[in-house]
């Protein structure tokens, strides 16, 4: 069977200039942030807390690029989903910076997830479970038994997350409570496809899906992603004493210039 080669175009290149013209200050600030990223991630982290904050910051920085790609192509709703994860990274890194004593709880939650996965496989995929290395299974069980008391309530029930505080409370503690109640709440509706999320992704006149390329939700995704990546960088820089203070201060001033007082960059 012969297959004709065709040009592959991902997205809507004709839409890019429209987005760039609408948010020129944002794209300028994003370019200016690139050398800061290179400086912050130039060397390795050595202490456990710094390593975790570095990983979170680098993952969120990578997602920042994904948000820009989606926004340029008019996928504002999908960019909101990515920015939502970035916001969670900013909250977690900020919380761990304030509470380094919680780092072990954050890391050891891995054993809880491993045990749950093994139980699922043993029940619903027994053949695959039998093919697992017995030493790996035993190691996971030992890890679970060692840490489970830290995540268990008085009734012996495991909680649902590594921290005993929900994300909302963590966000409030690190100064992101307002963003949680606005941008994150909207992004969660889009992500979970509740009725609010459906209506937010619908055209106003027809109530049918507003498909790409669209200008809807572009600014919210950019704001949430832009603020989240800077927060993660600041958290890592402060915790690890990297000395990139002035550069990050300038990046913060850029954010206020781009998004300050609720105005869009291109207006």
Select from 225, 248, 232 the least CA-distant residue to 50: 232
The whole-number pLDDT of residue 39 equals 97
Give per-residue pLDDT as tens, 99-114: 999 999 999 999 999 9
Q: Are 93 and 53 contacting, i.e. CB atoms less than 8 angstroms apart?
A: yes
Mean pLDDT per 10-residue segment, the chain (267 residues) = 71 96 97 97 95 98 98 97 98 98 98 96 96 95 96 91 96 96 92 90 86 95 98 98 97 94 44
The whole-number pLDDT of residue 2 equals 58
Alpha-carbon gap, residue 41 to 138, rounded angstroms: 37
Q: What is the pTM of this model?
A: 0.92
The whole-number pLDDT of residue 9 equals 80
Q: Where are the domains of the chain?
A: 13-101+175-262
Give per-residue pLDDT as tens, 11-41: 999 999 999 999 999 999 999 999 999 999 9
Alpha helix positions (H), 99-166: 103-124, 126-130, 134-147
DSSP 196-231: HHHHHTB-TTT-SB-PSS--TTHHHHHHHHHHHHHH
């Amino acid at each position: 069977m012969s297959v004709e080669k065709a040009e592959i175009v991902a997205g809507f290149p004709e839409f890019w200039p429209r987005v760039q013209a609408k948010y020129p200050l944002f794209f300028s600030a994003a370019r200016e942030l690139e050398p800061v990223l290179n400086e912050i991630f130039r060397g390795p982290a050595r202490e456990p807390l710094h390593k975790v904050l570095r990983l979170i910051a680098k993952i969120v920085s990578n997602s920042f690029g994904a948000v820009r790609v989606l926004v340029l192509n008019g996928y504002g709703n999908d960019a909101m989903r990515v920015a939502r994860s970035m916001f969670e990274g900013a909250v977690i890194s900020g919380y761990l910076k304030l509470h380094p004593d919680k780092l072990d709880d954050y890391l050891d939650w891995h054993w809880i997830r491993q045990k749950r996965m093994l139980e699922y496989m043993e029940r619903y995929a027994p053949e695959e479970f039998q093919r697992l290395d017995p030493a790996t299974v035993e190691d996971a069980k030992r890890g679970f038994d060692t840490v489970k008391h830290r995540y268990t309530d008085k009734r012996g029930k495991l909680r649902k997350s590594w921290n005993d505080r929900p994300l909302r409370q963590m966000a409030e503690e690190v100064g992101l409570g307002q963003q949680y109640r606005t941008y994150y709440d909207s992004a969660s509706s889009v992500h979970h496809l509740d009725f609010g999320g459906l209506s937010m992704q619908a055209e106003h006149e027809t109530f049918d899906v507003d498909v790409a390329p669209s200008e809807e939700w572009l600014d919210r995704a950019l704001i949430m992603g832009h603020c989240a990546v800077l927060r993660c960088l600041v958290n890592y820089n402060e915790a690890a004493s990297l000395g990139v203070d002035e550069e990050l201060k300038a990046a913060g001033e850029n954010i206020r210039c781009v998004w300050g007082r609720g105005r869009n960059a291109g207006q």
